A and B are shown apart, each in its own frame.
Chain A
Amino acid sequence: DAGITQSPRHKVTETGTPVTLRCHQTENHRYMYWYRQDPGHGLRLIHYSYGVKDTDKGEVSDGYSVSRSKTEDFLLTLESATSSQTSVYFCAISAGTGLSTDTQYFGPGTRLTVL
């Protein structure tokens, strides 16, 4: 199994509060990704990173920001959580050849509930 951990694994918060989710990898992979999974939608890309301090937006980036100050850590921040951000969040990593044939490996997920 790829060395990917996510913290916290479960979180309940209130609308309007800031929330930060952490993804940590031990594989020294260049690329890291954040996805959310919702019923009826599969997984959708929020943001991704192709190196330290290098990030870009995905399909559903509104309301989210990310930071990557170290190769091993990729943080996802909800500046002011809303109920529509209740979801399961998955982090993924890939070795980073930059080609589409890079396989992504996923972490165990964080279940976030915004009340």
Chain B
Amino acid sequence: DQQVKQNSPSLSVQEGRISILNCDYTNSMFDYFLWYKKYPAEGPTFLISISSIKDKNEDGRFTVFLNKSAKHLSLHIVPSQPGDSAVYFCAASAYSGGGADGLTFGKGTHLIIQP
């Protein structure tokens, strides 16, 4: 079963508008969430993260919102720029007590910024 879900395989947004990417999770042990951006033929690049003790984290044009009761997080990009066109992965981590034992990823959302 998929513990991290990104239900929109693709999203098209006009340049200058807001892009909203969504992610849902099922495992209540997850306490740290990250967004990665990936261009073709490159490795994922860390974008922004949020701890479960917060409900919002902002970094420049990027803001991540966490709703723990709904097990939902979203990434807002404002304003959207052509260079934002990429695949965005939502990822989650849980403290297992023995160490940071890897991330659980969603399947990704392909964001396309239209000029």
Contacts and interface: CB of A to CB of B under 8 A. Distances in A.
A72 B3 CA distance: 31
Interface of B: 4, 31-32, 34, 36, 41-46, 49, 51, 89, 91, 93-96, 98-108
A42 B106 contact: yes
Interface size grouping (class) on chain A: 20 to 34
Contacts of A96: 99-100
B95 A100 contact: yes
Contact of B99 (A43, A50, A108): A50
Contacts of B49: 101, 103
B45 A45 contact: no
Contacts, number: 76
A106 interface: yes
Interface string A22-54: 000000000101010000111111001010000
A44 B46 contact: no
Interface of A: 4, 31, 33, 35, 40-45, 48, 50, 56, 58-59, 90, 94, 96-109
Contacts of B108: 42
Given A42-B106, A100-B32, A109 B42 contact: yes
B95 A106 contact: no
Contacts of A101: 31-32, 49, 51, 93
A43 B108 CA distance: 9
A86 B99 CA distance: 29
A48 B34 CA distance: 19
Contacts of A50: 99-100
Nearest to B36: A106
A83 B46 CA distance: 30
